[in-house]
Structure 1
Amino acid sequence: MAIRTWLVGCSMMCALAASLVTSAVRAEPIGGVRQSEGLQAAAFGQTLSQIPDSLDAGLPVVANGLNESVIQIPEADISLETTVFKPDGAGPFPMIVFNHGKLPGDSHAQPRNRPVALAREFVRHGYVVVVPNRRGFAGSGGDYGGHGCDVEANGFAQAQDVAATVAYMSEQPYVDKTHMVVAGTSHGGLTTIAYGARDAVAAPGVRGLINFSGGLRQDECAGWQKNLVSAFGDYGQNVRLPSLWLYGDNDSVWKGDLSVQMFAAFTAHGARANMVDFGTYKNDAHRLVGDRDGVQVWWPRVKAFLTQIGMPTAVQYRVSEPSLPSATHFADLDSVQAVPFVDENGRAGYRNFLSQYSSRAFAVSDSGAWSWAEGGDDPMAVAIASCQKQSADPCRLYAVDNRVVWNDQAAQTQTASR
């Protein structure tokens, strides 16, 4: 089994039974430094206008869909199903290639990767965001190349798909091939560093690497931690690009000082890198990059790194977001008995919803189906979709973040019990 990746958003659903779903000139490297910032996650649920880099009302607006498209990128004997997010216009735009993690089980059953929260922030800053599903994942051809317990070989195999993606996208007229960066989370973070150790030499426009909680967890392999540290040490002998590493203290995958060991092995051979320990993030630092709330934690550090390697960081666009419904004052948020239609399982689910972080949503239908979701990019959409799977009747939002938004058309003259 490869590493375990946090599923963005979790949900509770069903009225009958509750179950958890839940010529580029290379910039000088920035130095081998590990910063322990000791950050605690801030209050969550902020809008983009509250994140550093205030928005200019005069900027052009990119619709919430971020001009998302799915293309096929040729790689040897197969094609890679690839998601592209981009600003409006012809460009050319700087580019970030983002590499996904790996869920347990059949890699072909893994959904097409859509890191919308990350994509939205980079599109705001004028970037094309390219997300290839590697060989054997989602709708890409071929089979996943695991290479047994050989972590180094695994990373190099994954990196071939990154190289194919960078080469193909560099030829697209809307991409500025002199301003590119490669990033990844979890297994994709390892893949990103492996790419820098060998294939990046063919792409002089790639200026840096960003590793979000990267690695490969193989519980079935004896001494997998040692294998992982050794692989990063070997990569470090060859990486010449500067890299930024971001790891948190409460990561459910990398326990103890494993991330510190990986970084020390990587920089021991002269690789230039900066590691940021951002402290704790919610209940699991491993979910940072898939969570809209995580942007306020990682963007300031990423922005500083991009500036150092000669990548643009000015806000270029306003990006539409899912609009939050207004409070209706139907009931107090913590009034469990006020939630309509649900049975005792549903009330237990609502109590669970109340214990979640503030970026959350609870949905219910007239027939008693219900669902909650927390985190990710759009918990409202996740909650409604999960509820709808259990109901022939339409599902509606009852509560979003810290407000009740339910509008009971049949009871306009009175509110629920408080």
Structure 2
Amino acid sequence: MALVLVTRSTGLFSGRTLLRCGLTASTVLRVLYLGTLMSVPPLLHAQPTAEDGPPPSTLAADMFETVTKLPVTVKDMYGKSIDGQMVLTHFKPPGDGPFPAVIMNHGRDSNQRANPSRYRYSDVARYWLRRGVAVFVPTRLGYGDSGMEQDPEFTGECNSKNFDAAAAVTNVQTLATVEFAIKQPWVNPSKVILMGQSMGGFATVVAMGTKHPSVIAGINFAGGSGGDAVNRKANPCGYHRVAATFEKAAKANGGSTPMLWLYSENDNYWGPDIPRKWHTAYTGAGGKAEFAPFGPVSTDGHSLLAKGMSMWRPVLDQFVRLQGIAIPQATGAPPASGFAAIGDASKLPLVKQDVKETGYVRFLALDLPRALAIGPKGEWAFFSGENVIARTLDRCAQTAKTACKLYAVDDNVVWQP
């Protein structure tokens, strides 16, 4: 199998990216030498990262990235008022809109709150931009450039956690972000979705209790609070108190706002059972939430958002489609053939075993629209992005020196034996 590494401007992975993915330096050099058989467009990484390191020195022009600051005042669990400037990163699809908007709330690291200096979730943002949705990512007070001197989200000691206080703090900042977003002329003020990871998922659940008229749905990725994956693996402090806080949000919302909760069974913070107890508490109090369980993700299912896109993307697509969000599709795609399920790599014809075990996994990790083609001697290629069918067939034909056939387009196997 031949691969090529191309710079971001041409749409493929850099050598640094492949080294991070686990390839040795010698393998990367050999790959660079061999040529190309597959490629990935510039607007999508094969796997999204939860947070992609330090912000770039320049803003992402292709995503219309902008950074601003919002003045907010919160009260910590002791009743002390804390004033600060919340750093807000936002991204916009091309065009004038008005676009739906997503508010993406980040997680919490009580020991490394200064890093990153501002949250971006650029790969998550690319998922939404492809669906014509603007993205707003607040860096809450006490994190990064929004201030490290105080920790407004501190909830107390393990046996006496005050999660209601943390909920009040995050609600102020979530609502401030919503209000900023709906004032932008390119945002649809009646179509805002809240989303969050870990503590950001907690913030998303409790924000349902504010019942903001612009918010149409909530998405909770591995949400919770009180966790310690090192000292209290799968046994978070005061999980019953989190449940009580979620119950209050559910009662205040009255089941008027749908939610999607996504958790992996090997989450080192919550384990497989506690998220279900939280969900039962929320729905039992009148909240409306679908629970989406996933199998293990890497060594810690808490990284579901970062490392499990091939797992959660179809589920999330189904949910957001119900909220009126258009899912990208390849133009001119043939109908599903019924030859195999899209996730069954064992059915791939002609290709070598390593393609089934590794290459196809990379294809499944791509966002839509996407296509994969196979040549008569097992040559193969895939693309994601615009004009994807023609680009995939052309690339495969260049390698095979003859015409190739489509195997899969978007989420369907279209192969005709």
How far does residue 125 in structure 1 lie from its aligned partner after superposition? 0.7
d(CA) in 2 for partners of 1:218 and 1:258?
A: 11
Q: Distance in 1 between matches of 2:237 and 2:218?
A: 27
User: In the alignment, which residue of structure 1 is the partner of 2:198?
Assistant: 186
Residue aligned with 1:238, SS = helix
Aligned CA-pair RMSD: 3.8
Asked if 2 retains the 8 angstrom alpha-carbon contact of 1:125 and 1:316, the reply is no
Separation of aligned partners in 2, 1:106 and 1:284: 19
The answer on 1:73 being equivalent to 2:86 is no
Deviations 1:158-212 (A, max 9, x none): 12100000001110111111111000010000001111112xx3x3121011000
Count of paired positions: 273
2:222 pairs with one of 210, 213, 216: 213
Say whether the 8 Å CA contact 2:247–2:281 is kept in structure 1: yes
Compared CA separation, residues 50 and 136, structure 1 to 2 (3 A): closer
Aligned counterpart, 1:265:
281
Shift of 1:270: 1.4
Q: TM-score, normalised by structure 1?
A: 0.58
Q: Deviations over 1:22-72 (max 9, x none)?
A: xxxxxxxxxxxxxxxxxxxxxxx9876999xxxxxxxxxxx8842222121
1:297 and 2:303 matched: no
Specify every segment of 5 or more residues in structure 2 that has no aligned partner in the other structure, as ranges.
1-18, 26-38, 48-59, 74-82, 332-353, 368-417
1:168 aligns with 2:174: no
Answering whether residue 150 of structure 2 is matched by residue 143 of structure 1, we say: yes
Q: Which moved more, 1:89-98 or 1:124-133?
A: 89-98
1:124-169 per-residue CA deviation (whole Å, 9 max, x = no partner) reads 0111111000111111147331232211221221121000000011
CA distance in 2, matches of 1:66, 1:283: 32
- 1:196 lines up with 2:212 in the alignment: no
Alignment of 1:7-406 (within 5 A): 65-76=62-73, 77-141=83-147, 143-145=150-152, 146-148=154-156, 149-198=161-210, 201=211, 203-218=212-227, 223-239=237-253, 240-291=256-307, 294-308=308-322, 310-315=323-328
SS of corresponding position for 2:286: coil
CA offsets 1:322-372 (integer angstroms, 9 cap, x no match): xxxxxxxxxxxx9xxxxxxxxxxxxxxxxxxxx9x987xxxxxxxxxxxxx
**Match for residue 349 of structure 2?**
none
Deviations 1:217-262 (A, max 9, x none): 2559995222222222232222231111001111111124111111
- Taking only the aligned residue pairs, the percentage that are identical comes to 30
For 2:140 and 2:330, the matched residues in 1 are separated by 30
* 1:185–1:212 contact (8 Å) kept in structure 2: yes
How many angstroms apart in 1 are the aligned matches of 2:220 and 2:227?
Answer: 19
Q: Is the 8 A contact 1:189 1:212 kept in 2?
A: yes
For the structure 1 residues 49 and 117, does the alpha-carbon distance in structure 2 shift closer, same or farther, using more than 3 Å as the test?
A: closer
Match of 1:363 in 2: none
Distance 1:50 1:111 in 2: 25
2:114 partner SS: helix
Q: Given that residues 194 and 235 in structure 1 are in contact (C-alpha distance below 8 angstroms), is that contact kept between their aligned partners in structure 2?
A: yes
Shift in alpha-carbon separation, 1:50–1:133, aligned structure 2, 3 A: closer
Return the offset for 1:106.
Answer: 4.6
| 2:111 match: secondary structure | coil
Q: In structure 2, what is the equivalent of residue 382 of structure 1?
A: none
1:237 aligns to what SS in structure 2? helix
Shift of 1:109: 4.1
> What CA distance in whole angstroms lies between the structure 2 residues aligned with 1:124 and 1:172?
20
Q: Where is the helix percentage greater, Structure 1 or Structure 2?
A: 2
Work out the CA distance in 1 between the residues paired with 2:100 and 2:164.
29
Measure the CA separation in 2 of the matches of 1:215 and 1:299: 21
Within 1, Cα distance between the matches of 2:330 and 2:195?
A: 22
Q: Is the 8 Å Cα contact of residues 160 and 195 (structure 1) preserved in structure 2? A: no
Contact 2:226 2:237 in 1 (8 A): no
> Normalising to structure 2: TM-score of the pair?
0.58
Q: Which runs of 4+ in 1 moved over 3 A?
A: 9-12, 45-51, 108-111, 218-223
Shift of 1:73: 2.3
* Partner Cα separation in structure 1 for residue 150 and residue 109 of structure 2: 15
CA contact (8 A) 1:251 1:284 kept: yes
**CA gap 1:159/1:152 in 2 versus in 1, 3 angstroms:** same
Return the alpha-carbon distance in structure 2 between the equivalents of residues 113 and 317 of structure 1.
Answer: 31
My pick for the range that moved more, 254-263 or 235-244, is 235-244
